[in-house]
Amino acid sequence: MAKLRWDAQGAHLGSQGSAQQFESLDALTSHVIGTTLPVSSLFSWLQGQDTPTPTWSAELQGMAEGRLTARRLSPEPVVELKIILER
């Protein structure tokens, strides 16, 4: 499991005793998964709001069970993000 923190000065990723600094959240997500994430939409999706986002789609049906799946449909390759929330 990894821990992610960010603020106006940059983003920090900690995992298994190592830490990395990035200039921004976009830079961090691009480094980790190869693309940036629509962070504002992600927070809306986590609240159960189906916020339209260009090139991304979100499946909110599993939110009652703490599960969210989002897909970037273009450009290729398709990127799938799965989040499971512990309660």
Q: In this prediction, what percent of the chain has a pLDDT beyond 90? A: 62
pLDDT, tens only, 23-38: 998 899 888 888 888 9
Say whether both 6 and 42 belong to one domain: no
Both 42 and 76 in a single domain? yes
User: pLDDT averaged over the chain?
Assistant: 91
Confidence tier at 60 by pLDDT (50, 70, 90)? very high
- Expressed as residue numbers, the domain containing 60 is 37-87
Do 43 and 78 fall within a single domain?
yes
Host H or E run for residue 44: helix 39-46
Q: Is the dihedral of CA 74, 57, 70, 12 positive or negative?
A: positive
Domain count, the chain: 2
Whether 41 and 67 map to the same domain: the answer is yes
Average pLDDT rounded to a whole number, residues 48-74: 94
The four Cα atoms 48, 53, 55, 59 give a dihedral, to 10 degrees, of: 10
Query: Does 23 share its domain with 6?
Result: yes
The pTM score is 0.71
What the block records as the tokens of 70 is: 């989002």
Residue 30 host element (H or E): helix 25-33
